[in-house]
Amino acid sequence: MFSDFSKTEETALQAMENDVHVIGMSSLAGGYKTLLPQLMEELRKLGHEDIVIIVGGDIPAGDYEFLLNNGAAAIFGPGTVIPVAAQKVIEEINRRLEDAN
């Protein structure tokens, strides 16, 4: 999980070292529009832009397009049904694994 208290470099490196498929990002301070592009850049530097990034929290609908265009695979706001979100994440992981092969 990536939050306002994590550094993008540390998060990307930990994700790579631990062979994760997904990074969950939440920002109580609304820093996602700054942090997401930074995290994507760090993952690119490490050759791991294949890691799925999901964004959650109370995010204005007007920011969704920006986030999706800058690396978010999915956005989950208040009221998200957990099994539905989990299915979307699994589908995205599978899609990327199929694209890699």
pTM listed for this prediction: 0.86
Q: What is the pLDDT of residue 56?
A: 92
CB 44 within 8 A of CB 73: no
For 5-21, b where at least 16 C-beta lie within 10 A, e where not — what string?
A: ebebeebbbebeeeeee
Delineate the domains of the chain, giving CATH numbers in brackets: 8-100 (3.40.50.280)
Residue of 39, 58, 48, 11 lying closest to 1 (CA atoms): 11
Per-residue pLDDT of the chain in tens (101 residues, 90 and over written 9):
554 556 889 999 999 999 999 999 987 767 889 999 999 999 999 999 899 999 998 899 999 999 999 999 999 998 999 999 999 999 999 998 888 77
Q: What is the pLDDT of residue 30?
A: 77
Coil, helix or strand for 51? coil
**Secondary structure (DSSP) of 37-100:** HHHHHHHHHTT-TTSEEEEESS--GGGHHHHHHTTEEEEE-TT--HHHHHHHHHHHHHHHHHHH
Cα separation, 99 vs 55, in Å, equals 22
Q: What is the pLDDT of residue 1?
A: 53
